[in-house]
Chain A
Amino acid sequence: MMAALALLPLIAQLAHQPFWLDLATRLVILAMAAASLNIILGLGGLVSFGHAAFLGIGAYAVGIPVHHSIYGGASWLASDNGLFHFALAVGAGALFALVTGALSLRTKGVHFIMITMAFGQMIYYLLESLETYGGNDGLTLDVRSALPGIDLDNPAQLYWLAFVILAGVLVMTWRLRDARFGLALAGARENARRMAALGHDVTRIRLAAYVLAGAICALAGALMANSTAFITPAMTSWPRSGELMFMVILGGAGRILGPVLGAGLFVLLEEALSSFTTYWHLPFGLLLILAALWQAGVFTTRSGGART
């Protein structure tokens, strides 16, 4: 699967189907976001329903500096330097995860789902209120992030960059799953009370996963901004978070390549349904909500502590 993805720009070019490359870029970036969610949802068993907020944070970490570099103002922030954009995305994503994670990880089960969703919506309304950056209408990226040696205006190069980062994220997930961190996360997922009795600081372990996932997802958001060259607050709304959950669950929560499979199915389904009917959002939304509810149900029986 990864090999096919690696060769995709060549295939698209040979087949004269540049549209395939667009789809594949979307797939790879969504897979990266889903892979980050897989760390908390799959490995950690925590149903976070606000993950799309990090996509938005990463996207605006590109959009806002670019906006100022062209239209002036906020000179401390104005920049078209991609390294700055990506660092800002990762930093802001990690910071937002640290603060909101520290608060939401005090709660459990359905409460955790609700509070993470609330924090996600908070970002949505915050971005919507920023009139300078287009408010509800969003922001067009007049230039893409400038990187040394890579031209993001070239779709194939953008694709390669996203693909390499995705591969890195997957390798990292694979390594950390089998390392101390993954074992501790799994232990906390199975039985947090027992973990504490053993001497593990469960909240700290989960917070570390939350921050890592937030940073990775924000990076995916920064790539997404470069890919679409247009960003809106809607990227962060709760249905987008639901879609990320859907991808993780569909691909198999906790499986290393699951997010890629899930994102692939998602992108194909999205294409198929939208070609059938312009009202594809409705059946699609219903599907997503069903998947989310299913996972929430599994979560509550898993953490209900009724096991002996």
Chain B
Amino acid sequence: MNDPLLRLDDLHKSFGGLKVSAGVNLAVRAGETHALIGPNGAGKTTLIAQIAGELRPDAGKIFLCGRDITRLAAHKRARLGLGRAFQVTSPMAGMTVLDNALLAVMAQMGSPLRMWRPVRGEAAMVEEARAALARVGLAEVEEEKARDLSHGQRRQLELAMALAGRPRLLLLDEPMAGLGPRESRDMVDLLCGLKDHYAILLVEHDMDAVFALADRISVLVAGAIIATGTPRQIRADAAVRRAYLGEEDTPC
């Protein structure tokens, strides 16, 4: 049988007495956009951090293309094709937009220990970094410092950096957070364009965006997945309605 792209097998993680992952099972198939929804504090970001390798699960296993990556360091997972965009945007603030994208490309392109040739003279790398910036609409501002960008632009840069590494799986943690209605719509359009090319695990609160983008949805409540299915199935699921969708009008 075909392995899914990403498989989480009974992940457990606690902070002191607080269980943030209480036996999470989840599979992301090749090519699909899989949304992970759940109330604030459900443990979504913590789960992404475990997948990306920044946090170690207390128990359970993580497989990427059938390979056990549970104990692999974060940077090695990134090189295996995990591209992560953080919930709290965190580009290298004091560096230019292009340098940020270059660092993303460089991570996948071999040795960072070259000490003589200027990076800006490495045409293939610069081209690839510019292409990633152009994809998200940041070509115009490539020489600006990341810290001088608007919030929306920083979210775009976050995405460009995840894309520049040519990932097999994009981990997007609330890409719409803090965006105005217009910027949100642009971001949804952008993700629509990406979804045919990448497998995506999308954490998002914006339900319109989730139902527009997701092929499948998993619902995380108090550290456990209470339902997985197509958008239609999730909408109809009584447990989900009770636990989550019913609270739609309270802001998260």
Contact = CB atoms under 8 A, between A and B. Distances in A.
**A is bound by B:** yes
Nearest to B122: A180
Contacts of A196: 54, 73-75, 78
B111 to A, nearest CB: 7
Contact of A193 (B90, B103, B115, B122): B90
Given A186-B95, A194-B92, A179 B115 contact: yes
Contacts, number: 106
B90 A191 contact: yes
B78 A194 contact: no
Contacts of A183: 99, 102-103, 106, 112, 119
16 contacts: A179-B117, A180-B111, A180-B112, A180-B113, A183-B102, A183-B119, A184-B106, A187-B95, A187-B103, A196-B54, A196-B78, A197-B78, A198-B104, A198-B161, A200-B103, A201-B75
Contacts of A186: 92, 95, 99
A200 B112 CA distance: 8
A176 B116 contact: yes
Consensus secondary structure, chain A interface: helix
A205 interface: yes
Which one of A182, A186, A187, A198 has the greatest number of beta carbons of chain B within 10 Å? A198
Contacts of B99: 183, 186-187
Nearest to B52: A197
Interface in B83-113: 84, 86, 88-95, 99, 102-104, 106-108, 111-113
B74 to A, nearest CB: 4
Interface residues of A, number: 28
Nearest to A178: B118
A179 B114 contact: yes
A113 interface: no
Contacts of A194: 86, 90-92
B75 A184 contact: no
B197 interface: no
Which one of A175, A194, A195, A199 has the greatest number of beta carbons of chain B within 10 Å? A199
Contacts of B117: 179-180
A202 interface: yes
A208 B108 CA distance: 19
A184 B106 CA distance: 9
Contacts of A106: none
3 interchain residue pairs of minimum CB distance: A199-B107, A199-B78, A190-B92
A235 B114 CA distance: 33
Contacts of B75: 195-202
B61 interface: no
A176 B92 contact: no
A198 B103 contact: yes
A200 B88 CA distance: 20
Which one of A172, A178, A186, A197 has the greatest number of beta carbons of chain B within 10 Å? A197
